[in-house]
Amino acid sequence: MFRTKRSGLVRRLWRSRAPVEGDGDADTGTRGGGNAGCCLGKPGASKPNPGTEAELKALTYSILKKIKEKQLEVLLQAVESRGGARSPCLLLPGKADARLGQQSLPLPLLLYKVFRWPDLRHSSELKRLSCCESYGKINPELVCCNPHHMSRLCELESPPPPYSRYPTDFLKPPDSPGSVPASTETGGTAYSAPMGFSDSLALQERGEQPHWCVVAYWEEKTRVGRLYSVQEPSLDIFYDLPQGTGFCLGQLASDNKSQLVQMVRAKIGYGIQLSREPDGVWIYNRSCYPIFIKSATLDNPDSRTLLVHKVFPGFSIKAFDFEKAGSLQRPNDHEFSQQPRTGFTVQISFVKGWGQCYTRQFISSCPCWLEVIFNNR
């Protein structure tokens, strides 16, 4: 039987649809649940019955067959690479609806459910990535339906569970490797900063292009490589990304022979995307494993302690708020009084968490982690 290229693309897309719970291949890390973090995913979708599956397949086929061939190729590239390859926007009518049983779904939402999140219920659970053409646009006629130009919103528990709350720890003890006294004046207080941070601040003083943050990569207590100064609004931080540009951790020379460090390093994969947006700094977890984040602006300003937040694959969290950070007042917090930059720092650990519910009490015990230091000038 003669088969067109279009029908072949449609079949490949259907085979590449997102697995649902019970398929055996479902990535349980993309959902919340469990008791190990503060980023709540939606309940996992149960495996559909054969009738529902057949109806969904028929509906998906009918929609895909109406899409232009080049657009199908764009969608297939995004889906098969799981967002690893750069794929352009897939602009389709945003107000078109598709009916699945008794439920009417907007076309973009249906494609997100089929190819990314089967348990997705409403568009309010999503955040569009800043790289997308539809980012920031209100009710455009054409909307990007590329499922890998979207992320799930990370919902924080309220109140936070006691097991994830712990006293704010110093980044590292004064005598730890890679820490030297710095003469940076902040309200007349000198504090300990990572080696090279003062040099990074000097770039702006010499009139060079200012950075909005610098990123340091650590393996346990040892910093690996130089500080990465960020001028662009968005930065990919990854170990292995098919078409990646940005901060590639895989290119850094590390002497750490720990099996745990090497195992975690290999799991970083697509890593994270760090982006400065009008309302703050967002972190998108592009990897296949959870990341753990601690930030002063994620918690109650009156709290004496900070939380470590678990962010699942495919989720985004607003990790830093410049306006909120500038108004932080913690007169009783020893770390804030002795190290003023704490309020302008975010710590991110790949795969492994830290805190009271872990054997690792401090982030310096985590195998692979990042420190993001924001420019508050």
Q: For the purposes of burial, counting CB atoms within 10 Å of the CB of 253, is it exposed (0-12), middle (13-18) or buried (19 or more)?
A: exposed
pLDDT at 303 exceeding the cut of 80? no
Look at the chain and count its residues: 377
Q: Read off the pTM.
A: 0.80
pLDDT at 345: 92
Contacts 24+ apart (CB under 8 A), 183-187: 186/340, 186/341, 187/340
The predicted pLDDT at position 338 comes to: 45
pLDDT of residue 39: 53
Domain map of the chain by residue range?
Answer: 5-14+51-153, 213-328+338-374
Who wins on pLDDT, 275 or 337?
Answer: 275
Higher pLDDT, 322 or 242: 322
Strand partners, 104: 99
Q: Quick one: pLDDT at residue 206? A: 53
Question: Can you count the helices (H) and strands (E) in the chain?
Answer: 8, 23
Tokens of residue 181, six digits: 């006294």
Q: What is the DSSP secondary-structure string of 203-221?
A: HHHTTPPP-SEEEEEEETT
The band of 245, judged by pLDDT with boundaries at 50, 70 and 90, is: confident
Beta strands in 53-135 (DSSP E): 91-93, 97-100, 103-106, 126-128
Dist CA 357 CA 125 (whole Å):
28
pLDDT digits (tens, 9 = 90+) for 96-107: 777 776 778 888
Nearest residue to 313 via CA among 77, 37, 124, 7? 37
pLDDT at 157: 57
What is the per-residue pLDDT for 117?
Answer: 95
Q: What percent of the chain has pLDDT over 90?
A: 50
CATH class of the 213-328+338-374 domain in this structure: mainly beta
Highest mean pLDDT among 12-26, 40-54, 198-212, 256-270: 256-270
Tell me, rounded to whole angstroms, the distance of Cα 152 from its chain centroid: 10
Name 179's bridge partners: 194
Q: Which CATH class is domain 5-14+51-153?
A: alpha beta
Query: What is the per-residue pLDDT for 323?
Result: 87
Of 229, 335, 350, whose CA–CA distance to 289 is shortest? Answer: 350
**Is 60 exceeded by the pLDDT of residue 211?**
yes
pLDDT value, residue 190: 27
Give percent of the chain with pLDDT exceeding 70. 71
Hey, what are 68's tokens?
């232009």
Q: Identify which of 199, 197, 229, 198 has the alpha carbon closest to the alpha carbon of residue 212.
A: 229
Quote the tokens at residue 151: 């992320």
Residue 6, SS3? helix
Q: In what helix (H) or strand (E) does residue 272 lie, and over which residues does it extend?
A: strand 272-277
